[in-house]
Amino acid sequence: MTEAINNRYDFALLFDVTDGNPNGDPDAGNLPRMDPQTGHGLVTDVCLKRKVRNYVEIAKANQADYEIYVKEKAILTKQQEKAYSALKLDPKGAEGKRKGGDDVGQARQWMCKNFYDIRTFGAVMSLKEANCGQVRGPVQMTFARSMNPITPAEHSITRMAVATEAEAEKQSGDNRTMGRKFTVPYGLYRAHGFISAHLAAQTGFSEADLALLWQALANMFEHDHSAARGQMTTRGLYVFQHDSALGNAPSHRLFERVSVALNASIDTPRSFGDYTITVDEASLPEGVRLLRLAG
């Protein structure tokens, strides 16, 4: 397995959306996710990790060691059976049972080596068949929260075509199939991330994997455009690199150095230019280096 990273990292990610829905809530009719008390917009960590996975799947298509475990229509048991097949182990044997054993450890290690998202984000693979245990990933992210409250807009949409002949017979005149669509006119969102060198050693998360993660975070929206999401763009990626595995300063103190302020003359933000981003690089804690990788 490739040598794992030796440094801890903390990062702040800024991205925005214009006339789109960055993360609809299926339990609320696909409305943009919001904090019900403050009105700030939310984007889940799961949504952000999905975009990283999608980017890696495109950038490393068919390359060894960069498969994606959690992807559309993937059957997880089938994914895990690949480990037992490659290692020539019986997933139903005594050592392959859910309780554990050497086979599970070997299978887990194989999954980490071959699946990028497992060695990055971790995975629970303790299924009854082809048990590969579970692993905690070195890269973890928070929900993204908008810098200001959002006011979702609701739009009526129509479809001129019909799906079936029966539907066509029911319609007459100017009747059209109706639908609803929700957008955020503008929102600037901020998320935080943490990378553990200790956990990276367990999954084999390497310097090459780290470089790919930064590349994905900077470019993931460029390959995720859709009518629903409008225009989404990474606006800033500020990485604090520690010179040790344990770290040299608390992450929250480092994040406080990245300030996002709405310009005084603006009441309702409608573009990235309505904000001023200030990064305090003076007197960084000893052993901490700031990297600006986007924005």
**Interatomic CA distance for residues 2 and 211, integer angstroms:** 14
Distance separating the N- and C-terminal Cα atoms of the chain? 33
Q: Which residues pair with 16 in a beta bridge?
A: 188, 233
CA 209 to mean position of chain CA atoms: 15
Q: Which amino acid is at 24?
A: G
**Interatomic CA distance for residues 292 and 279, integer angstroms:** 10
| Domain boundaries of the chain, sorted by first residue | 1-44+147-295, 63-142
Give pTM, 2 decimals: 0.92
| pLDDT-derived band at 97, boundaries 50, 70, 90 | low
Tens of pLDDT, residues 150-194 = 999 989 888 777 777 777 777 665 566 677 899 999 999 999 999
When mean pLDDT is compared over 123-137, 149-163, 200-214, the highest value belongs to: 200-214
At a CB cut-off of 8 Å and minimum separation 6, what does 25 contact? 31, 32, 33
Mean pLDDT of 18-31: 94
pLDDT at 70 over 90: yes
